[in-house]
Amino acid sequence: MSRTELSALGEFGLINRIAKSTKINNKSTLKGIGDDAAVIRIGDSCQLISTDMLVENIHFDLSYTPLPHLGYKSVAVNVSDIAAMNGTPEQITVSLALSNRFSVEAIDALYEGIFAACEDYKVDLVGGDTTSSPSGLVISITVIGRANPEQIAYRNGAKKGDILCVTGDLGAAYMGLKILQMQKVEFLENPQMQPQLEGREYVVKRQLRPNARMDIIHELADNQVVPTAMIDVSDGLASEILHIATQSGVGVMVYEDKLPIDRETYEVAINDFKVSPSICALNGGEDYELLFTIKQEDYEKLKTHEDISFIGYITDDKEVNLATAGGQKVPMEAQGWNHFKGKQS
Ligand code: ADP
Ligand code: MG
């Protein structure tokens, strides 16, 4: 029998392979694999379900991650997937695999963050599972949400002429990760060293304690805007734009000079790492902002919103291009985060 390495397929290749072999047996399953959450019809309403697993030393490093932040982030990244469907989260289950390396106080600290997120996003912790692990901590959270069928925003609804929008700012969480990793190396070389976070507080906070954009979901509803397509930015903007383009069967034109980048992200990128802030925004990850498309007629309703940037538009030529600040047009490539190739995701 031949053996194929997982790295030959990559994470998305593997998921596509599983999806192809999946058979749907129930009419109530409106959307299975392939979006931010599954969609299940229940009467006139729809239930949304999504799950995310965080594994120690793949997704987080406890040498610089405070447990309350980790608990908060584990919930926020799940809530973000419900937001990305234009839904409202209602319940979560939390499953843990733990070793005796962890004390009761450590688990209390983790749950302090989980409960803070439950409060912020108004979700109820309704169950889970607890088991042992040989050494590392594994946190798996499932979130259940709700939406009206007409209001759900799938990844595949973008149409020619729609405007591409993104919330907040991008690239900060990636710069925060780089700062934390750099300071860990420096600390191992010189244990007397104190963390140097001045001027880097924002990017580090974006990495350790991201916020799911439920505020935007409520504001879209208040303004009677239903995005034609939506996804959350977990793997990096370029990767998410390509998901919308591929699944909607459209092209996209994105403008580099419209990418929202915070001043601190910009300075950390240039001064600490000598990397292009745009590359951080396009290919960093874990921003947990919302990327969505709207019909042109809805632009008026959102154009003055301080936390939404209009970064491009949908075309019908199936090409995804970046118009660079220098006036060139280059094909956009995803360099998202891929577990099997050794990047965090
Ligand atoms: P997100 O980044 O929004 O969390 P993922 O990239 O993790 O989404 O997953 C994409 C889709 O693939 C989702 O619909 C998810 O439920 C599905 N998926 C991921 N892993 C598996 C798996 N092992 N088996 C079945 N479906 C999976
Ligand atoms: Mg998602």
- Domains of the chain and any CATH numbers: 10-17+28-151 (3.30.1330.10), 163-337 (3.90.650.10)
3-state SS, residue 311: strand
Q: Which residues of the chain have pLDDT under 50?
A: 337, 339-345
Give the closest residue (by CA) to ligand 1 atom 22.
15
> Could you count the other beta carbons within 10 Å of the beta carbon of residue 269?
25
Pocket of ligand 1 (CB under 6 A): 15, 18, 33-36, 52, 81, 234
Neighbours of ion ligand 2 (CB under 5 A): 36, 81, 232
CA 33 to CA 314: how far, in whole Å?
24
Atom number, ligand 1, closest to the C-alpha of residue 77 = 4
pTM: 0.95
Pairing of strands 163-167, 290-294: antiparallel
pLDDT at residue 343, as a whole number: 44
> Cα 331–333–337 angle (5° rounding)?
170
pLDDT at residue 12, as a whole number: 87
Q: Which of 15, 24, 231 to mutate to test the pocket of ligand 1 (most atoms within 8 A of CB)?
A: 15
How would DSSP label each residue in 27-49? TTEEE-TTSSSEEEEETTEEEEE
Amino acid making up residue 44: D
pLDDT at residue 1, as a whole number: 82
Residue carrying structure tokens 């932040």:
69
Give the closest residue (by CA) to ligand 1 atom 21.
15
pLDDT at residue 336, as a whole number: 52
How would DSSP label each residue in 56-105? BTTTB-TTT--HHHHHHHHHHHHHHHHHTTT-EEEEEEEEEEE-TTS-HH
Following CA atoms 273, 232, 323, 280 in sequence, which dihedral angle do they give, to the nearest 10 degrees?
Answer: 0
Atom number, ligand 1, closest to the C-alpha of residue 34 = 14
Give the closest residue (by CA) to ligand 1 atom 7.
52
Identify the bridge partners of residue 118 per DSSP, sorted by sequence position.
none
Nearest CA to 199 out of 261, 267, 262, 260 is that of 267
Atom number, ligand 1, closest to the C-alpha of residue 84 = 3
CA 152 to CA 1: how far, in whole Å?
44
